Amino acid sequence: MLDILAIAAVSATPRPNLVIILVDDSGFNDVGFTNEAATGRPAAWHIRTPRIDALAHAGVRLSNYYVQPICTPTRAALLTGRYPFRYGVTGYTISADAPWGIPTNETFLPEFLRDAGYVTGIFGKWHLGFFKTAMLPSSRGFDYQSGLYNAMGDHFEHTIDGGYDWHVGEVTQTGFRGNYSGELVRDDSVAFIWRLSNGSAPFFLYAPFQEAHSPYQAPAAYLDMYPELSATPEKQNLAGMLSHNDAMVGDIVDALNATGALQNSIVMFSADNGGPGGQEGVPRPSRFDSTIIDRNWPFRGQKHELYEGGVRVAGFVYSPLLPGTAPVGGTVHAIIHVTDWLPTLLTAAGLSPSARAHLPLDGTSMWGCLSGDSAQCGRTEVLLNFNTVCDSGLLGFATECPAPKAAVRVGELKLLAECYDATTGKLTGNLELYNVTNDPSEAVDLASAMPEEVTRLGQRLQFYGAQAAQVPPLSDRPPWQGAGYYCASCASGQPQGVNAAWEPWCEGDAGVPC
């Protein structure tokens, strides 16, 4: 870890502090601000998130904001500014035992920022690989770390698949058993803010909360907020988690304000994917899912799926640094994708990606757009995912994500394709076309009525498919990413040492099998 005082001494140019708050498995209707004035909002699912709502209303809300359908791809896209299909993360997240991580030739946002004198910290969920030390946060641009490496875990005991998973400075710390994960993320984020408040170096705080990922566990006081859900304990715990997360976000903002850092900060809020079903009586993901679950209302679908409910989420930017032309207190309706944050935040900080060698970005800077210049709202197309692994049956589905496997939005239109034949380079199976501006619930398939648009958007999907087909997809079992993967025969991971903890197990540099 780098010494904060040493970094502060060499940082001469004042730049804004950057704060990313990423909430886990939170649906579009899991916060208050997204549907406050909507008619028909489900009466059974009104989650109280007053702190997040207040921050959103004081900032710039995003109405057409997209992420990836599952955890790892969104986190990777956020930090690399690149579509996850470019490194094969399209249908699976990284399992605890996988000898795999985001390739080290991908440049992460904190690497750009650290070059510019930022102090960088991540507190919360990593989920980008840990089998080698080269995959850990400290090797990807972060100076400070605490949290879990894996996708999920018991929120109090911090265990998953028989191993303990909570680390501080990348050292396993078992003393946090019994402490709720969201409060640990809050505590370390607040401590980081206070520690840096008197220094001259700007900071980058990345707070990827574990809430509200299963298992559904909330502190008792937050369960008591939803007595009407007591007959459905999973839903009650989920609701409590969401409101608890709101309080934790509020505490982080309070720390920014109390230290004076908020006046020179840019805060971005996002979910990592739509809310999943599976709670009492709520359907789970399925092929061509037609359901609208309460937590993603008014959108069809859920986590794992490419319908709007899986990939269109709550997002906003708050900053006193936004110019007077910015629609503060209002909404930007431009299409924005999670890959856009890397170039957007660099632009806001007066930096350029060209300052460091990196692979070509898919994201585009939206800072001008967010600042009120509509001419800079230039994104008209977004690829929502391209999973090249087709389903083999009508009921079950291959990978974590069911068909449709690929989707692109161009303007108001969105095309979803059942799958893609890498041999012929053609889309296969059902094609669905929706106008998601007029029909956000994706109820009216326009494919038969607008064949020329199916062809036009299909060509865009085929363009991406030809590229995606060149990269073997990540799997949940050996050889992990095809027979040519350098660690195809490496040992699978298991809890390590006297603490039976999830820690790196594969020695050697990245690219060296073990």
pLDDT per residue as tens digits for the range 337-351: 999 999 999 999 999
Which is it for the CA torsion 187, 192, 193, 194, positive or negative? Answer: positive
Cα angle, residue 203 at apex, residues 31 and 104 outer, rounded to 5° = 90
DSSP designation for 496: B
Q: What is the pLDDT of residue 3?
A: 38
User: In this predicted structure, what is the pLDDT of residue 2?
Assistant: 35
Q: Provide, rounded to the nearest whole percent, the portion of the chain with pLDDT above 70.
A: 97
Q: Is 213 a catalytic residue?
A: no
Question: What confidence tier does 37 reach under pLDDT thresholds 50, 70, 90?
Answer: confident
Q: 3-class DSSP state for residue 147?
A: strand
Same fold, 15-380 and 382-468: no
User: Pairing mode, if any, of strands 167-168 and 144-148?
Assistant: antiparallel
Question: The CATH number of 382-468 is which of 3.90.700.10, 3.40.50.10490, 3.10.450.30, 3.30.1120.10?
Answer: 3.30.1120.10
Query: Would you place residue 198 in the very low, low, confident or very high pLDDT band (cuts 50, 70, 90)?
Result: confident
Active-site residue, from 46, 127, 155, 244 = 127
Q: Is the pLDDT of residue 13 over 60?
A: no
- Using the predicted structure, report yes or no on whether residue 171 has a pLDDT greater than 90: yes
C-alpha distance across the termini of the chain, in Å: 26
Tens digit of each residue's pLDDT (9 = 90 or more) over 371-399: 999 999 989 999 999 999 999 876 688 99
Do strands 331-337 and 163-164 pair parallel, antiparallel, or not at all (unpaired)? Answer: unpaired
Q: Which of 34, 56, 50, 41 is nearest to 245 (CA)?
A: 50
* Count of other CB atoms within 10 angstroms of residue 201: 21
Higher pLDDT, 276 or 6: 276
> CB within 8 A of 463, min separation 6: which ones?
none
Nearest-angstrom CA–CA distance, 321 and 273: 28
Residue-wise pLDDT tens digits, 265-308: 999 999 999 999 999 999 999 999 999 999 999 999 999 999 99
How many whole angstroms separate alpha carbon 35 and alpha carbon 212? 19
> Where are any strands of DSSP class E within 186-262?
203-208
Q: Residues 317-340: pLDDT tens digits?
A: 999 999 999 999 999 999 999 999
Cis before 215? omega within 30: yes
Query: Cα dist. 149→22, 101, 503 in Å?
Result: 15, 11, 8
- The pLDDT of 200-217, averaged and rounded, is 97
Burial 324-335 (b: 16+ CB within 10 A, else e): eebbbeeebebb
Could you tell me the two tokens for 42? 């489900």
Going from N- to C-terminal start, the domains of the chain cover: 15-380, 382-468
CA 434 to chain centre: 25
Active-site position among 57, 71, 213, 358: 71
- Within 48-88, residue ranges assigned H as helices are 50-57, 71-80
What confidence tens digit (pLDDT) does each residue in 350-376 have? 999 999 999 999 999 999 999 999 999
* Topology of domain 15-380, CATH: Alkaline Phosphatase, subunit A (3.40.720)
